[in-house]
Amino acid sequence: MARLEDLPIYEQEHLLSKLLPPLGKLEWVKHNKHISEMKFAIITTAGLSYKDDDNFNFIDASYRAIPKETQSEDILMTHSSVNFDKTGFQEDINVVFPIDRFKELEEKGLIGSLADINYSFMGAGLLPDAYEDSVKDLGVILKQDNIDAVIVLPVCPNCSRTVCAITHYLEAAGIMTAGITLFKEIAESMMPPRSLWVTFPLGRPLGKPNDSDFQHKVISDILSMLNKNSGPVLNECKLNADDKSIIPPACPINFNTNKDDLSWHSRFKKEIASLATWYDLSIQRRGRTTFGLSNSSINEIADGLALWIDNKDNQMPDYAWIKLALDDIKIYYSEALIAKPGNYPAGYVDQIIFNDTVLGELISFYYRYFTNNPNTKHFGRMIASREMLKKSTGNWAITKEGTFSKKP
């Protein structure tokens, strides 16, 4: 639940340190059109891109175009943050990018139309005003496409700040917007034009994967804000996506970390082999995999991550590759662990990885290695999540000018 009081103290403190003032005076666009006559575009800050497109960089204010007729199996998530659950996206792209839901609204005549091209940013690592130039550039394109309104969705706390920036700059360009915020406090401090506060788990701005009715209810709440005559508007979504009465399927894999085996590489390879059947079943069930960020095979990842730890005389892999390889291997584990049909709560996979696996030990090793070096300590926070470490991983951001800032 994304309510401040429900979070651990370290997460509350981290979140509250990120509050910023508004980016400027309230920008406000009002249409006389009915929603059923309006043309919409979707923007997500989930860092989505085509498999053949360039990944988002770790710090990146650019955007990617995603056509209306995109197929979910062609899309990867290259968001650099490790502090939100990605299994919602693995189950259902619509929980972060509701392309199918808006096509259904179009087919029913509840909206005028959905844009042929929609967009993704990556909302991490940057202060909100660093997105100004990219959003203004996109605003010109949206105006040329005769877009009446844009719906913007985040996946993490920093993304909620990015959504505030995107809606502010688009509204200033004359395009009506409505966004989701995952934390009320961020919207209260930055005061974007229209914001719907949802208390869903991070990484799931529309609440429940594979539940079109639930997702449509959230979208209905978002669209209702477009009827307001003045702002800023901050509404609370009353829906609850956290059903604790539903128990997820039992973990399909019995992990044995073989602690008597002193070889990281040997233990890691055995663990990966135990996941192979379940990973294949997962692909059969969903018809897609989100593996592929590093452009390396699963065996190349296992060798690259573990052989150097066993023998420091080997060349250390490139830092950027290590990050993408760790993201990829977590995807491999995640998809194997949720191979069975069922309801998997946010955080289910991460808890297993962190507590029971060689991969969890490997992530901890790399985190300690990078954070023990003053020159790479900031890279370390891209490796291990606050939930894994049970503490804040520090607060920093890149400014609009591209300089490092210790401000929130």
Phi, psi dihedrals of residue 202, rounded to the nearest 5°: -55, 140
Confidence of residue 356 (pLDDT cuts 50, 70, 90): very high
Q: How far apart are CA 5 and CA 7, in angstroms?
A: 6
pLDDT tens, residue by residue, 46-60: 999 998 888 898 889
| Residue tagged 């860092």 (tokens) | 47
Q: How far apart are CA 353 and CA 281, in angstroms?
A: 19
Burial of 78 (0-12, 13-18, 19+ CB in 10 A): buried
**Which pLDDT does position 57 carry in this prediction?**
87
Confidence of residue 172 (pLDDT cuts 50, 70, 90): very high
Q: What DSSP assignment string belongs to 341-381? A: SS---TTHHHHHHHHH-HHHHHHHHHHHHHHTSTTTHHHHT
User: CB-based contacts of 36: which residues, under 8 Å, 6+ apart?
Assistant: 109, 110, 111, 112
Q: Which residue has the higher pLDDT, 23 or 314?
A: 23
Q: Which residue has the higher pLDDT, 310 or 408?
A: 310
Q: How far apart are CA 277 and CA 256, in angstroms?
A: 17
Confidence of residue 282 (pLDDT cuts 50, 70, 90): very high
**Which pLDDT does position 20 carry in this prediction?**
92
- Burial code (b: 16+ CB inside 10 Å, e: under 16) for 141-158 equals ebeeeebbbbbbbbbbbb
Strand spans (E) along 91-220: 113-114, 117-120, 149-153, 176-181, 194-197
DSSP letter (8 states) at residue 251: P
Burial of 72 (0-12, 13-18, 19+ CB in 10 A): middle
Residues in the chain: 408
Confidence of residue 394 (pLDDT cuts 50, 70, 90): low
Q: What is the CA radius of gyration of the chain?
A: 21
pLDDT, average across residues 157-183: 96
396 has pLDDT over 80: no
* Average pLDDT of the residues of the chain: 91
Burial of 84 (0-12, 13-18, 19+ CB in 10 A): buried
pLDDT, average across residues 254-267: 80
Q: What DSSP assignment string belongs to 56-99? A: PPSS----EEEETT--GGGEEE-----SS--HHHHH-GGGTS-H
Judged by average pLDDT, the poorest of 189-198, 235-244, 301-310, 353-362 is 235-244
C-beta separation of 283 from 335 below 8 A:
yes
Confidence of residue 404 (pLDDT cuts 50, 70, 90): low
pLDDT tens, residue by residue, 320-332: 999 999 999 999 9
Cβ neighbours of 94 (radius 10 Å): 23
381 has pLDDT over 90: no
pLDDT, average across residues 66-75: 93
CA-based torsion, 188, 190, 192, 195: positive or negative: negative
Judged by average pLDDT, the poorest of 81-85, 220-224, 242-246, 313-317 is 242-246
**Which pLDDT does position 407 carry in this prediction?**
53
**Which pLDDT does position 349 carry in this prediction?**
94
251 has pLDDT over 60: yes
pLDDT tens, residue by residue, 217-235: 999 999 999 999 998 999 9
Instruction: Return the SS3 of 233.
Output: strand
Provide, rounded to the nearest whole percent, the portion of the chain with pLDDT above 70.
94
Beta bridge partners of 175: none
pLDDT, average across residues 127-142: 97
| Residue tagged 């497109």 (tokens) | 53
- Relative to beta strand 397-398, strand 404-405 is antiparallel
CA distances from 113 to 20, 118, 144, 146, 218 (A): 35, 12, 15, 11, 19
For 253-305, the three-class secondary structure string (H helix, E strand, C coil) is CCCCCCCCCCCHHHHHHHHHHHHHHHHHHHHHHHCCCCCCCCCCCHHHHHHHH
245 has pLDDT over 70: no
pLDDT, average across residues 16-39: 93
Q: How far apart are CA 23 and CA 163, in angstroms?
A: 12
1 has pLDDT over 60: no
**Which pLDDT does position 58 carry in this prediction?**
83
Q: Which residue has the higher pLDDT, 247 or 110?
A: 110
pLDDT, average across residues 12-26: 89
315 has pLDDT over 80: yes
Confidence of residue 12 (pLDDT cuts 50, 70, 90): confident
The full set of domain ranges for the chain reads: 4-236, 264-372
